[in-house]
Amino acid sequence: MIEVVKFRPAHLDELRLQPSQEYLAAFVGRPGYGQELVEAGPCYTARRDGKIICCAGVVELWKGRASAWALLSWDAGQNMRPLHREVQRFLDRCDIRRVEAYVYPGFEPGHRWARMLGFEREGFMRAFHLDGSDMVMYARIQ
């Protein structure tokens, strides 16, 4: 069973990023990043058997618009069903009208999960990511 708790910056120290997100380790590990996430909008941590499997939330860009983020552990895949339910529940209860999500063009599991969560593809964002790579933007409107 998954336990969902309020995200704390120290949770990032316990999270072993999935292979497709390992490139973010230096960025996620920089001093103050976890606190920035706390201050940016609601965020939560999911644990299973005491291990962190996901830290996720939204960054409120302005009232009614936010950007979703999720950092998944290397073993999150085996927990995706219950994790999906928890993220879906959060999004359904969220009072933000527009939530955006960004996925690497070739990362099919991310595209599939975005669609399963009710996001619709909106466009291709050239040189959008912090590393200069392209991203696909999805949005979920409530």
Domain that holds residue 105: 2-141
Q: Which pLDDT score, from 0 to 100, does residue 82 have?
A: 95
Task: Read off the DSSP letter of residue 128.
Answer: -
**Encoded amino acid at 18, one letter:** Q
Query: What total of structural domains would you count in the chain?
Result: 1
What per-residue confidence (pLDDT) applies to 98?
98
Q: Residue 91's domain is classified under what CATH number?
A: 3.40.630.30
List, in sequence order, the alpha helices (H) in the chain: 11-14, 25-28, 33-40, 80-93, 108-116
- Each residue's pLDDT, cut to its tens digit, for the chain (142 residues) gives 899 999 999 999 999 999 989 888 988 999 999 999 999 999 999 999 999 999 999 999 999 999 999 999 998 988 999 999 999 999 999 999 999 999 999 999 999 999 999 999 999 999 998 889 999 999 999 9
The pLDDT score that the predictor gives to residue 23 is: 86
Residue 60: how many other CB atoms lie within 10 Å: 16
Which residue type does 40 have?
A: A
Q: Which residue has the tokens 């409530």?
A: 142
